[in-house]
């Protein structure tokens, strides 16, 4: 007997979010009664969240929207009041018929306001919050004075300068002088916490963000606080290092520069850096990142918030995957037959002529799933015109439960949607090898791959009449090429990728390519124009909008619709 289907008409509609009225600095606002916590679960809205919705920023250190609430820095203390309740449990009203608000005071000192930590205190109907009152200001001044009691003012050398919340809040809310006259507690400096993290213990204000991230997000309960009182110190558990694939996130969320990246430490002041929105290419996840560069040198990758992809985290492997871009052995020159130096204006017509004269079916193309969607589309145009057999090279690694994907290509879905590989990526490589060995395939175009590692060894490449290779770094394939065309890293051009989960995202150019290296989209566009009459696209935007209409699976999405966080496409 078939199982009875549920009655869809009986499914209750999604519950509307109940809102309540409160006052923030005397202004009435309506805010949701419940809001998501760090896990996404709906819980009572806190004062801090309500103030933010009202456009009032409450300073804080330990609070982070994607971490469990700890409530230990006290920086978000605010004065507040609640409606006075009568014996009948109803609000008492004044002469104007308005609720009488009773400001919270110390029970043993009724004349002194009592603050509440805004990060952990839920709001209630009729509550009034005073984040700008003199009492709140005094509380903040006192908290800052306490935090700075043992904190060294080494801002001129601290790597957090320019990104330091302690510095900013001390300027906005601190006192000019401290009442602390005792000798400061000097904690250790330059503590080697792990392979990528350095700890300056005396800067730590014990907010425990790093501890909570490592325990609750990275799943590695590696950090803790030892000792008591003013001698509290952050440390890794005895006998082990702070070493997992997400340790550098603790540098991002450390508000005071206690944790610094060994890779970036003392290399550059952040206010000198140019920030460019980009995408990590280390795997198929497509984490959103910021590329920080100066004078054409990349200094660091840091995560960019995208709640649909990586929230505000990224792995250490992805962060450090930029150094190869500046390698001294980058391909910089266009080379023609015999390794002769040439230029773009000469080799593109030559290659166009060779391809135009190639018999149908005699051309094969090995492309990389690290190319952009725009480049893949132009390769598709060329492949269709030439009747070429095509394929891409799969890369598979070890995934984890958080961000690292098993697919190590950033744009495998772009290759599949363009029809440049079969259901199984790499399945055509054997067919190509057989075609070259039999003399049926005489021309091979390789984009961004060393095919000698993929079944097309040097003896097969030697049989080709024409081998055109575009790559970024030298390898065995480029050494055997008739034409070498220097390509660009993703940080040196604009374009888009489609992630392993179908997120179509764009990225921007951060630095200039070296020598004659040129974005692949430009010279592929010239080849597509010469051979297939494809329009010459003056910009990435124009090509993107064109290909999105030409490839039905991409749904006609326009470049501007991707925004900073991308859109989902059906894969």
* pLDDT, one tens digit for every residue, the chain (571 residues): 334 343 444 445 555 679 999 999 999 999 999 999 999 999 999 999 999 999 999 999 999 999 999 999 999 999 999 999 999 888 899 988 889 999 999 989 888 999 999 999 999 999 999 999 999 999 999 999 999 988 887 888 888 889 999 999 999 999 888 888 888 899 999 999 999 999 999 999 999 999 999 999 999 999 999 999 889 999 999 989 999 999 999 999 999 999 999 999 999 999 999 999 999 999 999 999 999 999 999 999 999 999 999 999 999 999 999 999 999 999 999 999 999 999 999 999 999 999 999 998 899 999 999 999 999 999 999 999 999 999 999 999 999 999 999 999 999 999 999 999 988 999 999 999 999 999 999 999 999 999 999 999 999 999 999 999 999 999 999 999 999 999 999 999 999 999 999 999 999 999 999 999 999 999 999 999 999 988 778 899 999 999 999 999 898 999 999 999 999 999 8
150-154 long-range Cβ contacts below 8 angstroms, 24+ apart: 150/184, 150/185, 150/187, 150/202, 150/230, 151/202, 151/203, 151/205, 151/256, 152/184, 152/202, 152/203, 154/203
d(CA 292, CA 290): 6
Q: Which helix (H) or strand (E) holds 236?
A: strand 233-236
* Per-residue confidence (pLDDT) for residue 276, from 0 to 100: 98
Question: How many other β-carbons are positioned within 10 Å of the β-carbon of residue 216?
Answer: 14
* Per-residue confidence (pLDDT) for residue 505, from 0 to 100: 98
Q: What is the DSSP pairing of strand 274-279 with strand 288-294?
A: antiparallel
* Per-residue confidence (pLDDT) for residue 234, from 0 to 100: 95
Q: What is the DSSP letter of 322?
A: T
Contacts of 412 (CB under 8 A, 6+ apart): 284, 369, 392, 394, 425, 500
d(CA 125, CA 91): 11
State pTM to two decimals: 0.92
* Per-residue confidence (pLDDT) for residue 566, from 0 to 100: 97
Return the exposure string of 517-534: e unless at least 16 CB atoms fall within 10 Å of the residue's CB, then b: bbbbbbbbbbbbbbbeeb
Structure tokens at 412: 């495998």
Using DSSP, state whether 376 is helix, strand or coil.
Answer: helix
* Per-residue confidence (pLDDT) for residue 15, from 0 to 100: 59
Residue in the structure block whose two tokens are 């900013």: 168
Q: Answer left, alpha or beta for residue 543, where phi above 0 means left and psi between -120 and 50 means alpha.
A: alpha
DSSP for 75-111 reads TTEEEEEEE-B-TTSSB-B-TTSPBPEEE-EETTEEE
Across 338-388, the runs of DSSP E, i.e. the strands, are 363-367
- 527 vs 216, 352, 354, 469, CA distance in Å? 52, 6, 11, 14
d(CA 144, CA 179): 12
Largest CA distance in the chain: 100
Q: Which helix (H) or strand (E) holds 191?
A: strand 191-192
* Per-residue confidence (pLDDT) for residue 14, from 0 to 100: 54
* Per-residue confidence (pLDDT) for residue 8, from 0 to 100: 43
Question: How many other β-carbons are positioned within 10 Å of the β-carbon of residue 235?
Answer: 17
d(CA 278, CA 248): 18
Q: Answer left, alpha or beta for residue 555, where phi above 0 means left and psi between -120 and 50 means alpha.
A: left
Backbone angles phi, psi at 62, to 5 degrees: -75, -25
d(CA 144, CA 140): 6
What dihedral do alpha carbons 330, 335, 340, 342 form, nearest 10°?
-110
């Amino acid at each position: 007997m078939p199982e009875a289907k549920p009655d869809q008409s009986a499914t209750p509609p999604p519950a509307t979010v109940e809102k309540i009225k409160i006052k923030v600095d005397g202004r009435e606002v309506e805010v949701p009664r419940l809001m998501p916590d760090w896990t996404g679960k709906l819980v009572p809205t806190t004062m801090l969240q309500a103030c933010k919705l009202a456009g009032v920023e409450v300073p804080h250190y330990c609070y982070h929207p994607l971490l469990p609430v700890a409530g230990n820095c006290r920086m978000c203390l605010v004065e507040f009041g609640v409606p006075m309740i009568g014996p009948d449990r109803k609000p008492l009203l004044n002469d104007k018929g308005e609720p009488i608000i009773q400001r919270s005071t110390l029970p043993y000192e009724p004349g002194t306001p009592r603050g509440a930590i805004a990060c952990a205190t839920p709001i209630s109907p009729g509550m009034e919050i005073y984040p700008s009152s003199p009492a709140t200001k005094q509380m903040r001044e006192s908290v800052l004075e306490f935090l700075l009691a043992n904190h060294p003012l080494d801002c001129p050398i601290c790597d957090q300068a320019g990104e330091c919340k302690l510095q900013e809040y001390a300027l906005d809310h601190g006192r000019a002088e401290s009442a602390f006259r005792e000798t400061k507690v000097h904690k250790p400096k330059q503590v080697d916490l792990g392979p990528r993290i350095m700890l300056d213990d005396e800067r730590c204000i014990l907010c425990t963000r790093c501890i909570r991230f490592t325990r609750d997000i990275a799943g590695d309960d590696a950090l803790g606080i030892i000792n008591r009182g003013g001698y509290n110190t952050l440390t890794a558990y005895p006998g082990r290092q702070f070493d997992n694939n997400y340790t550098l996130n603790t540098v991002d969320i450390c508000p005071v520069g206690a944790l610094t990246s060994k890779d970036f430490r003392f290399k550059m002041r952040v206010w000198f850096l140019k920030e460019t929105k980009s995408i990590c290419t280390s795997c198929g996840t497509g984490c959103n990142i910021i590329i920080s560069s100066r004078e054409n040198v990349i200094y660091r990758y840091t995560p960019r918030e995208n709640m649909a992809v990586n929230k505000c985290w990224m792995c250490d492997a992805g962060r450090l995957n930029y150094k190869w871009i500046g390698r001294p052995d980058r391909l910089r020159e266009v080379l023609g037959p015999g390794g002769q130096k040439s230029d773009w204006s000469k080799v593109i017509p030559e290659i166009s002529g060779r391809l135009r004269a190639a018999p149908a079916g005699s051309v094969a193309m090995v492309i990389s799933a690290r190319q952009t969607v725009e480049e893949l589309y132009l390769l598709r145009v060329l492949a269709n015109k030439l009747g070429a057999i095509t394929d891409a090279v799969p890369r598979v690694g070890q995934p984890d439960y958080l961000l690292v994907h098993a697919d190590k290509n950033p744009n495998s879905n772009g290759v599949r949607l363009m029809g440049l590989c079969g259901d199984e990526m790499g399945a055509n490589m054997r067919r190509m090898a057989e075609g070259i060995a039999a003399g049926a395939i005489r021309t091979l175009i390789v984009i961004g791959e060393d095919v000698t590692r993929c079944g097309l060894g040097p003896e097969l490449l030697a049989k080709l009449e024409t081998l055109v290779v575009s790559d970024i770094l030298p390898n065995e394939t480029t050494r055997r090429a008739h034409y070498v065309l220097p390509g660009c890293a993703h940080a040196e051009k604009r374009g888009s990728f489609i992630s392993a989960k179908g997120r179509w995202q764009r990225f921007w150019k951060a630095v200039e390519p070296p020598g004659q290296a040129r974005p692949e989209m430009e010279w592929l566009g010239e080849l597509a124009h010469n051979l297939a009459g494809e329009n010459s696209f003056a910009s990435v935007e124009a090509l993107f909008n064109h290909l999105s209409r030409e490839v039905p699976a991409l749904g006609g999405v326009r470049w501007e619709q991707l925004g900073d966080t991308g859109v989902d496409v059906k894969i």
